[in-house]
């Protein structure tokens, strides 16, 4: 466990006597306060000086690229180290099967919630939009990227051309596959692989130290991303579609508090305490509109709760592809919004078709910029009565909605990892509650990046 990173972010396992608790840090050195202030300044700059705000975009893009630069190494080292040290490799297979079952069940619930809320609140009703008045050119550009993959094509794409190719492309699933195979191989050769494992652990320590350095730039990245968003799209642009945005954010909040909260209560932890524990990651995702920005630090914080590296390394990265709860809510809610805005009355059979296709497309487009929007374009194509040009309605506000999608995706995968840890018996209900309580108390003392 990288104690340097944990101290830097304000979290470290409690050791020794109570007097060992870190002293209160100045408020301006606390990471989440820095991110909050940076976001506030970014919003003001983007609103009052949009020309300058647009020019801040490279700050947000650069920060996300820095994080993505190290993600593949972090995932690889974490999985290899965890699997190579496991005594029973069969347990890994059981964990993977349980994870996929959990992902499918919760994602399906998210899709159904989006569908139900759209039918209940009907955020698009009354708009009476004429498709002929919409500019479908940009949407057609996305439609070209929304090529559907068969199950076989999807599985074959998980296999990289070479070991190096997986890291060069930064494909998370490919890196996970390579890491699992390498971990199993090292475990099979026993003592002969000890030297290689030590080297990987050394690389892992260096990678997390690098993450610690990159996280110092989080406020700058959040500032640049939010300043660009406000400057480019403008707060005034939210007006006509405010009902859709409000409905989506409210639905996302209810999903986290009620659905994920109930799951947390079932396995033995408070969703609110967990959200307080990952507040830095929440603000980081909110500022950058990217769940990838929080992936390395989320994995590290889950390990800090006493969860095995092998479990964290397997569940979190695969969950980023298969457990996209926020994207699932968005898919069905936005699809029905477009239909309602165009005055298209969908039958039960058509809504069922949308639901089934969305269950696949919400996962198939992962890792692509604007993935949820691209997947939604592909989903709407199964119902010819809905003009794809209707997607132009939400193209301008997709950036604002992507923040909620990314937040729910990230939180959902953190919860999934805790659930799998409880199912596997690696942590008891009491231990989990105590560790979350301790880390929350330590976080109250203040931390600095």
pLDDT in tens, 391-422: 777 776 777 788 888 899 999 999 999 999 99
**Cα dist. 81→2, 140, 314, 369 in Å?**
14, 45, 12, 30
Q: Structure tokens of 300?
A: 């590290």
Joined tokens for residue 318: 């695969």
CA distances from 207 to 31, 48, 72, 239, 296 (A): 20, 39, 10, 44, 10
pLDDT band for 133, please (50, 70, 90 cuts). Answer: low
> 């794409």: which residue's tokens?
157
When pLDDT is cut at 50, 70 and 90, the band that residue 11 belongs to is very low
pLDDT above 80 for 441:
no
Instruction: Give dist(CA 318, CA 79) in Å, integer.
Output: 12
CA distance 259 to 379: 25
**Which residues, other chains included, contact 244 with Cβ-Cβ below 8 Å and sequence gap of 6+?**
123, 124, 333, 334, 337, 394, 397
- Output the CATH code of domain 3-91+102-444: 1.10.3860.10
Model pLDDT, residue 257: 96
- Would the pLDDT of 12 be above 50? no
Res 256: pLDDT? 96
* Mean pLDDT (the chain, rounded): 79
How many Å apart are CA 64 and CA 89, to the nearest integer? 34
Instruction: State the residue for tokens 């400057």.
Output: 231
**Distance between CA atoms of residues 325 and 113, nearest Å:** 10
Let me know the angle formed at the C-alpha of 171 by 165 and 174, rounded to the nearest 5 degrees. 70
Q: How many CB atoms lie within 10 A of CB 150?
A: 10
Which residue, 275, 308, 284, 282, is CA-closest to 440?
275
Q: Which of 82, 92, 30, 346 is nearest to 216 (CA)?
A: 30
More confident residue, 385 or 80: 80
Query: How far is it, in rounded angstroms, from Cα 37 to Cα 33?
Result: 6
pLDDT of 79:
83
Most confident of the ranges 102-116, 197-211, 330-344: 102-116
pLDDT value at position 149? 55
**Percent of the chain, pLDDT > 90?**
17
**Helix (H), strand (E) counts: the chain:** 23, 0
Choose among 22, 4, 430, 369: nearest CA to 216.
4
pLDDT at 120: 92
- Name the more confident of 35 and 129: 35
pLDDT level of residue 66 (50, 70, 90 thresholds): confident
């Amino acid at each position: 466990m990288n104690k340097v990173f944990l101290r830097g972010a304000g979290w470290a396992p409690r050791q020794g006597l109570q007097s060992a608790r870190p002293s209160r840090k100045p408020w301006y050195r606390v990471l989440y306060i820095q991110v909050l202030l940076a976001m506030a300044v970014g919003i003001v700059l983007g609103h009052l000086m949009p020309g300058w705000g647009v020019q801040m975009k490279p700050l947000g893009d650069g920060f996300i690229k820095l994080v993505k630069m190290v993600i593949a190494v972090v995932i690889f080292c974490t999985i290899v180290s965890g699997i190579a040290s496991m005594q029973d490799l069969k347990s890994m297979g059981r964990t993977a099967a349980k994870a996929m079952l959990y992902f499918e069940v919760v994602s399906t619930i998210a899709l159904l919630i989006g569908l139900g809320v759209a039918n209940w609140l009907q955020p698009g009703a009354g708009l009476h939009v004429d498709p002929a008045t919409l500019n479908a050119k940009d949407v057609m550009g996305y439609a070209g990227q929304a090529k559907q993959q068969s199950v076989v094509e999807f599985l074959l794409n998980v296999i990289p051309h070479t070991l190096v190719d997986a890291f060069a492309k930064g494909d998370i699933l490919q890196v996970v596959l390579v890491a699992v195979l390498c971990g199993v191989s090292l475990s099979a050769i026993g003592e002969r692989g000890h030297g290689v494992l030590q080297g990987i652990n050394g690389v892992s320590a260096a990678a997390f130290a690098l993450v610690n350095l990159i996280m110092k730039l989080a406020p700058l990245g959040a500032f640049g991303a939010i300043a660009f968003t406000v400057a480019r799209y403008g707060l005034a642009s939210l007006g006509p579609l405010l009902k859709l945005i409000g409905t989506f954010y409210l639905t996302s909040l209810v999903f986290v508090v009620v659905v994920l909260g109930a799951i947390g209560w079932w396995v033995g932890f408070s969703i609110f305490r967990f959200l307080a524990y990952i507040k830095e990651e929440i603000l980081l995702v909110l500022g950058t509109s990217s769940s990838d920005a929080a992936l390395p630090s989320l994995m590290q914080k889950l390990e800090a709760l006493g969860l095995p590296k092998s479990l964290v390394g397997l569940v979190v990265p695969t969950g980023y592809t298969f457990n996209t709860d926020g994207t699932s809510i968005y898919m069905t809610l936005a699809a029905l919004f477009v239909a309602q805005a165009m005055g298209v009355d969908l039958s039960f059979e058509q809504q069922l078709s949308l639901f089934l296709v969305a269950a696949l497309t919400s996962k198939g487009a992962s890792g692509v910029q604007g993935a949820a929007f691209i997947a939604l374009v592909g989903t709407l194509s199964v119902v010819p009565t809905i003009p794809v040009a209707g997607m132009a309605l939400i193209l301008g506000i997709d950036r604002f909605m992507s923040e909620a999608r990314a937040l729910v995706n990230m939180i959902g995968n953190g919860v999934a990892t805790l659930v799998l840890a409880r199912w596997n018996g690696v942590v008891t209900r009491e231990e989990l509650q105590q560790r979350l309580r301790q880390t929350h108390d330590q976080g109250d003392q203040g931390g600095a990046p």
